[in-house]
Amino acid sequence: MARARDGVLVVGGGVSGLTTAVVLAESGRPVRLVSDRPPESTTSAVAGGLWEPYLAEPRERVAGWAFATLPTLTALAERPAETGVRMVAGVKAQRTPEPVPPWWLPRLPEALRPLRPDEVPRGFRSGYAATLPLLDMPAYLAFLARRLRDAGGVLERRRLGSLAEAEAESALVVNCSGLAAHGLVPDPEVRPIQGQLVVVENPGVDRWLVEEPTEGAETTYLLPQPAGLLLGGTARRDRWTTEPDPTLAARIVARCAAIHPEIAGARVLEHRVGLRPARPAVRLEAERGRDGGGLVVHNYGHGGCGVTVSWGCAREVAGLLPD
Task: Give binding residues for D-dopa as ranges.
Answer: 221, 276, 304
Task: Give binding residues for FAD as ranges.
Answer: 36-37, 43-44, 303-308
CB neighbours of residue 243 within 10 Å = 9
Task: Give binding residues as ranges.
Answer: 36-37, 43-44, 221, 276, 303-308
CA–CA separation, 174 and 33 (whole Å): 9
**Amino acid identity for residue 235 in this structure:** A
DSSP 155: E
DSSP alpha helix (H) spans, the chain: 15-26, 59-76, 80-83, 137-150, 163-169, 181-184, 246-259, 306-320
Contact 266, 202 (CB under 8 A): yes
Task: Give me the torsion for CA of 138, 141, 146, 148, rounded to 10°.
Answer: -170
Could you give the C-alpha distances from 41 to 148, 183, 222, 273, 288, in angstroms and in order? Answer: 18, 19, 22, 12, 31
Return the axis-axis angle of helices 59-76 and 306-320, rounded to nearest 10°. 100
